[in-house]
Structures are given as structure tokens and as C-alpha cells.
Structure 1
Amino acid sequence: MRDDILEVLTKPTVDVVLAGRVLGIGKAAAYRAREAGDIPSIKIGGKFRVPTSKLREMLALPATQALAATAD
């Protein structure tokens, strides 16, 4: 789970399954939530990706700039 959170904090997008894991739901539930619009997503090259900025907002996680400032 720690690696999943690190990806959310450092990458611009993640896949739907990883987004679901950090939200505490399974693969099928994550795809249903994406289809319902509960997990925001964009389609890139035929695949759905979840913008981590939106995911961080949903989880009340710090923005990457805040994370970088605390790493110094």
C-alpha cells in the first residue's frame, strides 16, 4: 500500500485498479466507480487513467509540491 500511495503522490496519473486500491475497493468496484463518474478518469491511448491530482483531493493528500518541500 505504501508504494501505491507513493505513486499517487509522485505520478501524474495511475491506472483504475491502483486508484481503487488506495480508495480501499476492489478491481470490479473501481471500474464501476469510474463508469459512474465517482472516480474521475481520462482516456489516453485507449486506456483509462486517473489523474492523481483529483485522487489526492479525494483522499485529502498533499499536493506534490507540498511533498517535495517536506522532503528537504
Structure 2
Amino acid sequence: MSKDIMQVLTQATVDVALAGRVLGIGKNAAYRAREAGEIPSIKVGGRYRVPTSKLREMLGLPAHEAPREPGLTPPIVA
């Protein structure tokens, strides 16, 4: 699995350029899409971040399921 997709699956937010890469568009197109509201974003500390839950929806991936690394035990849910 690519590093970019792993970040989308395991982090709460990613930068706009990474969101563009996983969507298959260039950096400039990603920033234009963010400006147009086509890529949802929030401003954190002066920088725009893309919530990965929304990005996963755009990609047709499960909204809250994070992949497990091989050999790791699943988390215990109480």
C-alpha cells in the first residue's frame, strides 16, 4: 500500500497536495479544487488541511476503518 494512502487511512487530516495525489490530480489542481470547495478543507494554524474522513468518502473507502500492519494485534474495544 502506498505511503500516501496509508496516511489517508491513519491520520485525521492531510495536506492539500497529498489529497490531490491520492485523487489523481496535480498540486495546482488540488489547490484550485480546494478553493472551489470541491475538496473539503479546514484551516489549522494558517494552513489548509483536508479531513481524511471526507477524503475517504470521495475515494469510496470506509470512513473510519484504519488498516492494521501485518503482525500487529487488533485493538481491544471495550
Name the TM-score class by shorter chain.
0.7 to 0.9
Task: Flag the structure with larger Rg.
Answer: 2
How many angstroms does 1:66 deviate by?
5.9
Give the structure-2-normalised TM-score: 0.81
Q: Which runs of 4+ in 1 moved over 4 A?
A: none
CA deviations over 1:49-71 (Å, ceiling 9, x no partner): 00000000000112343645xx7
Q: Which residue of 1 aligns with 2:33?
A: 33
Q: Which residue of 1 aligns with 2:59?
A: 59
Query: What runs of 5+ residues in structure 1 fail to find an aligned partner?
Result: none
CA deviations over 1:35-56 (Å, ceiling 9, x no partner): 0000000000000000000000
Count of residues in Structure 1 that have an aligned counterpart in Structure 2: 70
* Identical columns (%): 73
Query: What runs of 5+ residues in structure 2 fail to find an aligned partner?
Result: none
One-letter amino acid matched to 1:19: A
SS at 2:49 equivalent? strand
